């Protein structure tokens, strides 16, 4: 079997916790971003890298029986949305064909950061929009806030050390750790208008969904983390229970939520907000 090009492969048992945590932490942020597009009854939507499907299910409810959601992922084994207006398709956004000028809304959360061919993927997602259609993306910037805890106690320092190694592992597999902050510019350079962007930084105690997400990420990449030489197996063994300590205060990376609209042709670029 070919190894997945995606570091945090959905076949792993930790993926189930990842999707529960991402939904708890970020669905409200994504829904706010999507609400800004005006998505409503009858819209045709594409959700790229749907994962567990929480946002696909939300979109399906919003667009109703006259709308449609195409949900794609490299690996759909943790996806569920058995709904008449949802079609799920195994699909690699880097290389598989996409219809052009088809969708009122194209959305991806925490996908492009992992895709080495992200520039090409973004171009194809923009081309998939009908004129006037919206692109909405949420992605991390792992460098804008590079630590996960204060630098006060040994537990904080351990968390920050393991996190630094995790960033190195993701980068070595083609992730772009400073991608989030580039998104407003990339959308503008893609010719989109009405661009809006905000950063969201969840802060939470040990034991909460954010801590469980971080624990799942570290467990899934344990061998790769040790191979960096930056952490030992002992560091990881000490790190895992720390994620359940309610005294610890942690943060995730900054999630940048960005959207923009493909012009219909009537707009003047000079008056379009940046």
Ligand X SMILES: C[S@@+](CC[C@H](N)C(=O)[O-])C[C@H]1O[C@@H](n2cnc3c(N)ncnc32)[C@H](O)[C@@H]1O
| Residue ranges binding ligand X (CB under 6 A) | 6, 8, 10, 19, 22, 48-52, 72-75, 91-94, 109-111, 114-115
For ligand X, the closer CB: 52 or 206: 52
Q: How far is the CB of 72 from ligand X (least distance, A)?
A: 6
For ligand X, the closer CB: 53 or 155: 53
Q: How far is the CB of 209 from ligand X (least distance, A)?
A: 12
Residue nearest to ligand X (CB): 51
For ligand X, the closer CB: 63 or 248: 63
3-state SS, the chain, equals CCCCCCCCCCCCCHHHHHHHHHHHHHHHHHHHHHHCCCCCCCCEEEEECCCCCHHHHHHHHHHCCCCEEEEEECCCCCCCCCCCCEEEEECCCCCCCCCCCCEEEEEEECCHHHCCCHHHHHHHHHHCEEEEEEEEEEEEECCCCCCCCCCCCHHHHHHHHHHHHHHHHHHHCCCCCCCHHHHHHHHHHCCCEEEEEEEECCEEECCCHHHHHHHHHHHHCHHHHHHCCCCCHHHHHHHHHHCCCCCCEEECCEEEEEEEECCCCCCCCCCCCC
Q: How far is the CB of 200 from ligand X (least distance, A)?
A: 13
For ligand X, the closer CB: 88 or 197: 88
For ligand X, the closer CB: 128 or 248: 128
């Amino acid at each position: 079997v070919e190894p997945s090009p995606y570091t945090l492969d959905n076949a792993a048992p930790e993926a189930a916790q990842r999707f529960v945590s991402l939904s708890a932490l970020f669905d409200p942020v994504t829904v706010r971003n999507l609400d800004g597009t005006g998505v409503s009854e009858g819209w045709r939507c594409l959700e790229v890298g749907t994962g567990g499907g929480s946002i696909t299910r939300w979109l399906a409810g919003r667009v109703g029986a006259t709308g449609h959601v195409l949900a794609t992922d490299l690996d759909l084994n943790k996806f569920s949305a058995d709904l008449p207006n949802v079609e799920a398709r195994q699909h690699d956004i880097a290389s598989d064909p996409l219809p052009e000028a088809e969708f009122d809304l194209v959305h991806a959360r925490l996908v492009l950061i992992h895709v080495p061919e992200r520039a090409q993927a973004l171009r194809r997602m923009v081309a998939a929009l009908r004129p006037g259609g919206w692109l909405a993306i949420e992605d991390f910037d792992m460098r804008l806030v590079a630590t996960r805890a204060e630098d006060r106690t040994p537990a904080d320092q351990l968390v920050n050390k393991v996190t630094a190694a995790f960033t190195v592992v993701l980068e070595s597999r083609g992730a772009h750790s400073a991608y989030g902050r580039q998104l407003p510019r990339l959308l503008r350079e893609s010719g989109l208008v009405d661009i809006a962007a905000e950063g969201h930084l969840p802060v939470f105690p040990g034991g909460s969904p954010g801590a469980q997400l971080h624990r799942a990420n570290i467990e899934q990449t344990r061998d790769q983390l040790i191979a960096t030489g930056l952490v030992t197996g002992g560091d990881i063994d000490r790190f895992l229970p720390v994620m359940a300590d309610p005294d610890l205060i942690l943060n995730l990376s900054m999630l940048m939520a960005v959207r923009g609209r493909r012009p219909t042709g009537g707009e003047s670029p000079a008056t379009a907000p940046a």
